[in-house]
Amino acid sequence: MDDFIYRDPGKENGEEAGQALGVDGAVRSRSTGLFCEGVPLSRIAREVGTPVYVYSYNTLTRHFRVFDEAFDGIPHVICFAMKANSNLAVVRSFSALGGGADVVSGGELFRALRAGVMPSKIVYAGVGKTVSEIEAALKAGILMFNIESQEELLAIDGVAGRLGVRAPIALRVNPDVDAKTHPYISTGLKKNKFGISIEQAMDEYERAEALPNVKVVGIHQHIGSQLTEISPFVDSLKKTAELVRKLKSRGLGIKYIDVGGGLGIRYLNEKPPLPSDLARAIRPVLEDLGCTLVFEPGRVLAGNAGCLVTKVLYRKSTQEKNFIIVDAGMNDLVRPTLYQAYHEIKQVITTDAPEFLADVVGPICETGDFLAKDRAMRVPQPGELLAVMSAGAYGFTMSSNYNSRPRAAEVMVEGDRYYIVRRREDYEGLVSGEEIPEFLGEKAAHDAQRARQGTR
Ligand SMILES: *Cc1c(COP(=O)(O)O)cnc(C)c1O
């Protein structure tokens, strides 16, 4: 369920849709079409420009609450996976409800702290943590590091020793289960780069326990993303629970079981389990272990709470295909290109134009630059607005400046107001940090010109 709805105020208010008299006497078109909460997307596009990401605050927080309530009665922390959407306003929306953060870099840690996440609710995963990132996390006092390798464990022990602290750690175990999702977002198989195999985990835990500057506090797993079945969660957690029992019997202090993220969402016709289904399935597996559960949901909280609004620039038809060229490209939303992902595309203002099959493509000079392929849609007019749905997760965070395209603006809607939560990047922003070295500077340019003149 989300808060992107079509509205026809004429019907809603029992009035005629169409023209209405504004306060200043000007005739205004009454707003209809696709709304985010109480705000027409057409208004946001007009005032902020396109492409623009639009997030619904009330959908974000409803998703958080639904997840939270599903685990009522079990001690738990919900650490939003920031790589799904790291906008400060989004992260704050969750932390204000008691949420924490799952970070995978020093940059995300910085954002989490800036957004006001309590350090004691931050978990830090990722296979390549650097010394300075480890230092920053130790100084902040995070809940725990999720360790991905033995060498990383030794590095953290070293840094903690230097700082005179003990680093709280969990080992990320790889339970070797098939998450039955796209290979690029499957992480819990033996062949994946993540975690420590569950067979080696016991030895690694004993090695960790013997280190002077780390403290074993938990266990972590994360088997993949966009999971649409419950069984991989249950199968992997059974293995993890068995290991926890063994660890406890050897006196290791496992306080936290970090279940990871991965719950899928509906993009097209998937029927992913609800948080309550997940809770019902895993409660019996984990309940009697007496641990606090940590969850790292990303997509399920943010995915269907956002869309990307883009404008149609041109249409063209070849003998093979119809193309709709829009002002958002793979640099703004890379999921279709990277994962052949499906995103529903809606007209912001519905029309009764005839339907055709078209590829919706961006302005980037790459054949892979598309948002949809062979999509049945109404023939749009240039200037028409389209909303690319389910873009609240892994949308803006995966965007880039490829083709020197400034990054899109981000907007958050709350009720009938909207807020720009990240302004559109400008051209100066695009080159900030770049420099032309002196040897290429004015004098060099002058010399080059003289050399050319001399050869005439
Ligand atoms: C990506 C990731 C998540 C979030 O995954 P979702 O599918 O968005 O819920 C959680 N934990 C870790 C370690 C991750 O890498």
The closest-lying atom of ligand 1 relative to the alpha carbon of residue 125 is 13
Give the pLDDT confidence score for residue 180 in this predicted structure. Answer: 74
The closest-lying atom of ligand 1 relative to the alpha carbon of residue 394 is 8
CA distance 354 to 322: 13
**Residue of 116, 61, 92, 85 whose CA lies nearest to 415:** 61
Give the pLDDT confidence score for residue 2 in this predicted structure. Answer: 61
Q: What integer best gives the mean pLDDT of the chain? A: 92
- Domain shared by 452 and 380, yes or no: yes
Give the pLDDT confidence score for residue 447 in this predicted structure. Answer: 73
- Domain shared by 256 and 383, yes or no: no
Of 36, 291, 307, 365, which one is the catalytic site residue? 365
Cβ pair 143, 170 in contact under 8 A: no
Mutate to test the pocket of ligand 1, among 182, 221, 296 (most ligand atoms within 8 A of CB): 296
Give the pLDDT confidence score for residue 454 in this predicted structure. Answer: 67
- Domain shared by 359 and 348, yes or no: yes
Q: What is the pLDDT of residues 317-329, one digit of tens each?
A: 999 999 999 999 9
Q: What is the pLDDT of residues 187-226, one digit of tens each?
A: 766 777 788 998 899 999 999 999 999 999 999 999 999 9
CA of 61 to the centre of ligand 1 (A): 18
Give the pLDDT confidence score for residue 12 in this predicted structure. Answer: 42
Helix or strand or coil: residue 31? Answer: coil
pLDDT at 455 over 80: no
Number of domains composing the chain = 2
Give the pLDDT confidence score for residue 192 in this predicted structure. Answer: 75
Question: At 123, which CATH number?
Answer: 3.20.20.10
pLDDT at 1 over 70: no
CA of 367 to the centre of ligand 1 (A): 29
* Residue at which a domain ends, from 299, 330, 354: 299
Q: How confident is the model at residue 360 (pLDDT cuts 50, 70, 90)?
A: very high
Percent of the chain surpassing pLDDT 70:
91
- Domain shared by 184 and 305, yes or no: no
The closest-lying atom of ligand 1 relative to the alpha carbon of residue 303 is 8
pLDDT at 250 over 90: yes
Kindly state the helix (H) or strand (E) to which residue 345 belongs, with its residue range: strand 345-347
Q: Is 365 a catalytic residue?
A: yes
- Domain shared by 266 and 253, yes or no: yes
Nearby residues of 110 by Cβ (< 8 Å), 6 or more positions away: 136
Over residues 6-12, mean pLDDT: 57
Mutual angle of helices 275-286 and 231-249, in 10-degree steps: 30
CA of 398 to the centre of ligand 1 (A): 14
Neighbouring C-beta atoms of residue 367, cutoff 10 Å: 8
Note down the domain range covering 51: 1-56+300-456
Give the pLDDT confidence score for residue 28 in this predicted structure. Answer: 40
Nearby residues of 342 by Cβ (< 8 Å), 6 or more positions away: 267, 268, 336, 372
- Domain shared by 291 and 406, yes or no: no
Give the pLDDT confidence score for residue 40 in this predicted structure. Answer: 96
Q: How confident is the model at residue 69 (pLDDT cuts 50, 70, 90)?
A: very high
Cβ pair 261, 297 in contact under 8 A: yes
- Domain shared by 308 and 222, yes or no: no
CA dihedral 188, 190, 191, 193 (to 10 degrees): 60
- Domain shared by 52 and 92, yes or no: no
Q: How confident is the model at residue 185 (pLDDT cuts 50, 70, 90)?
A: low
CA of 79 to the centre of ligand 1 (A): 10
Mutate to test the pocket of ligand 1, among 60, 83, 94, 228 (most ligand atoms within 8 A of CB): 83
Give the pLDDT confidence score for residue 194 in this predicted structure. Answer: 81
Q: What residue's CA is closest to ligand 1, atom 10? A: 261
| Neighbouring C-alpha atoms within 13 Å toward the C-beta of 237 | 23
- What are the C-alpha distances in Å from 222 to residues 104, 148, 231, 431, 447? 13, 11, 14, 37, 59
pTM of the model: 0.92
Q: How confident is the model at residue 21 (pLDDT cuts 50, 70, 90)?
A: very low
Highest mean pLDDT among 133-147, 173-187, 437-451: 133-147
The closest-lying atom of ligand 1 relative to the alpha carbon of residue 227 is 7
CB contact burial 195-215 (16+ within 10 A = b; e otherwise) = bbebeebbebbeebeebebbe
* Residue at which a domain ends, from 245, 275, 299: 299
Give the pLDDT confidence score for residue 25 in this predicted structure. Answer: 37
**DSSP conformation letters of 91-103:** HHHHHTTT-EEEE
Give the pLDDT confidence score for residue 26 in this predicted structure. Answer: 41
Give the pLDDT confidence score for residue 184 in this predicted structure. Answer: 67
CA distance 389 to 35: 12
Give the pLDDT confidence score for residue 348 in this predicted structure. Answer: 97
- Domain shared by 251 and 270, yes or no: yes
The closest-lying atom of ligand 1 relative to the alpha carbon of residue 299 is 8
Enumerate residues lining ligand 1, CB below 6 A. Answer: 81, 83-84, 102, 104, 125, 222, 225, 260-263, 296-300, 393
**Residue of 384, 346, 338 whose CA lies nearest to 50:** 384
- Domain shared by 256 and 382, yes or no: no
Strand partners, 79: 100
* Residue at which a domain ends, from 299, 332, 348: 299
Mutate to test the pocket of ligand 1, among 222, 278, 304 (most ligand atoms within 8 A of CB): 222
CA of 192 to the centre of ligand 1 (A): 15
CA distance 95 to 163: 28
Continuous H helices in 250-289: 275-286
- Domain shared by 29 and 162, yes or no: no
CA of 68 to the centre of ligand 1 (A): 17
Query: Taking CA 376 as the corner, what is the angle to CA 372 and CA 380, rounded to the nearest 5 degrees?
Result: 85
Question: At 318, which CATH number?
Answer: 2.40.37.10
- Domain shared by 27 and 174, yes or no: no
Q: What is the pLDDT of residues 276-321, one digit of tens each?
A: 999 999 999 999 999 999 999 999 999 999 999 999 999 999 999 9
Over residues 317-345, mean pLDDT: 97
**Residue of 79, 23, 85 whose CA lies nearest to 59:** 85
Cβ pair 357, 374 in contact under 8 A: yes
